[in-house]
A and B are shown apart, each in its own frame.
Chain A
Amino acid sequence: MYTKRSKTELAQRVAQDIFEGAYVNLGIGQPTLVANHIPTHIEVVLHSENGILGMGPAPESGAEDYDLINAGKQPVTLRAGGSFFHHADSFAMMRGGHLDICVLGAFQVSATGDLANWSTGELGSIPAVGGAMDLAIGAKQTWVMMDLLTKKGESKIVEHCTYPLTGIGCVKRIYSDLATLECTPHGLKLIDTVDGLTQGELEKLLGMPVMT
């Protein structure tokens, strides 16, 4: 028997691997939660693609400044040492490999690290990509944070993505509610599973082998 990691536990698991001095971009949605769990004894600099380094938590009610928002367009604060810059510089930081870690959500990830997280390719839907493709391929390490299975129980880790790609071979690690895995050119490598979930059971859920 095993229990899935809750959203908070998953955010804590990701935060545990963020290191002192890291420059980190947390994607919109679930990855944003990671910020709440970064250990207080280390200094981490959060980047927001709309031109902020040193982003802090949400302001107190009434102190919102709508010139100071994150990529999800929510009001944020600036920490001491923070800075502002224009969009081309902000994306140069990503594309130029200056960010240490970027944490993104995903629809699908392939065992070798291909990412699909911007479009389900549904007919008639209006496409929108934002900074997803730049983030995916830019950071030194791209981590994905997601449920391992879809609501129908299908694995979101696949041999080949069937949804439109965001980037090729760009995901280094997958943090999921059931296991943490590394994507390598040779396939998945196990980092950890939740208590009680065996490697065999995990492989069955994934429908593919996992290296140790």
Chain B
Amino acid sequence: MIDKIAPNIAHALAHVQDGATVLIGGFGTAGIPNELIDGLIHQGARDLTVVNNNAGNGDSGLAALLKTGRVKKIICSFPRQADSFVFDELYRSGQIELELVPQGNLTERLRAAGAGIGAFFTPTGFGTELAKNADGSPKETRRIDGKDYVLEYPIYGDLALIKAEVGDRWGNLTFRKAARNFGPVMAAAAKFTVATVHRIAELGELDPETIVTPGIYVSKVVKINHVATQAGGLKSA
């Protein structure tokens, strides 16, 4: 019998290795797997590379993980925010490496990893500072049918932490509204994907036509509590 339901987060994250690349879903207040990030802090893996759209806000979630000093590098599109003080300090003191990637290239590099694409030519970033490698050398470019493109490579994850809405024991997932964001793409891009859900459905209960992430991309599903707003979303994430 296939049973991907984990009894708790510690169980789901028991085997995270030092040096892992961790893909963390979420955008703004939607879809951030804070419970799993807390679990990763508790689990203690270090020398991590983290991929997220941002670089943490306030003192909790990703910011708290950064504060432990266990993240050596972050790959993201928008680190600088009004309350990204934890990242800002680490970056300014040279304690964390930043790879800044345009948001669409970030998500397409993740998609490429999940889809087995070796590299791809994208128009985004051509002719800009972000068409350079970390050492300042230019990334490979090509003109195709009169249009200029930059060669970008996949971002493979060892682990993906994502927040979904409903899941079943095969790992099939549905999402809620804009909390979907990076979830499905990261689930496919990582070797091991852990998803939190607010409800566990019986196998066969989820409408096959509406399953967003099929269970093949998911390793563990953990149920967490839901703090609902009047409109049904999460109050804080």
Distance between Cα atoms of A68 and B29 in the complex (Å): 9
B191 → chain A closest CB, angstroms = 19
* B5-13, B63-71, B73-81: which lies at the interface: B73-81
Check B177–A84 contact: CB distance below 8 A. yes
Count of B residues near A, CB < 8 Å? 57
Residues of B within 8 A of A127 (CB): 79-80, 98, 100
Secondary structure dominating the interface of A: loop
- Count A/B pairs, Cβ under 8 Å: 163
Per the 8 Å Cβ criterion, residues 199-237 of B in contact with A are: 212, 229-237
* A46-54, A105-113, A177-185, A200-208: which lies at the interface: A46-54
Check A167–B127 contact: CB distance below 8 A. yes
Size class of the contact patch on chain A: 35 or more
Let me know if A62 is at the binding interface, CB within 8 A: yes
Per the 8 Å Cβ criterion, residues 9-59 of B in contact with A are: 27-31
- Given A126-B88, A133-B130, A84–B180 Cβ distance below 8 Å? yes
Per the 8 Å Cβ criterion, residues 108-139 of B in contact with A are: 108, 110-111, 122-130
Let me know if A59 is at the binding interface, CB within 8 A: yes
Secondary structure dominating the interface of B: loop
0/1 interface trace, chain A 20-54, chain B, CB 8 Å (1 if under):
00000000000000000000000000001111100
B34 → chain A closest CB, angstroms = 12
* A2-10, A88-96, A191-199: which lies at the interface: A88-96
Chain B residue with minimal CB distance to A68? B177
Let me know if A123 is at the binding interface, CB within 8 A: no
Residue among A87, A138, A166 facing the most chain B CB atoms (10 A cut-off): A87
Let me know if A81 is at the binding interface, CB within 8 A: no
**4 tightest CB-CB pairs across the interface, nearest first?**
A134-B104, A91-B104, A65-B231, A65-B233
Q: List 16 A-B contacts (CB under 8 A).
A: A50-B27, A51-B178, A64-B229, A64-B233, A65-B232, A67-B176, A73-B29, A84-B177, A86-B180, A86-B181, A91-B104, A91-B108, A128-B77, A131-B104, A134-B124, A138-B104
Binding site for A on B (CB under 8 A): 27-31, 77-81, 84, 87-88, 91-92, 98, 100-105, 107-108, 110-111, 122-130, 148, 175-185, 212, 229-237
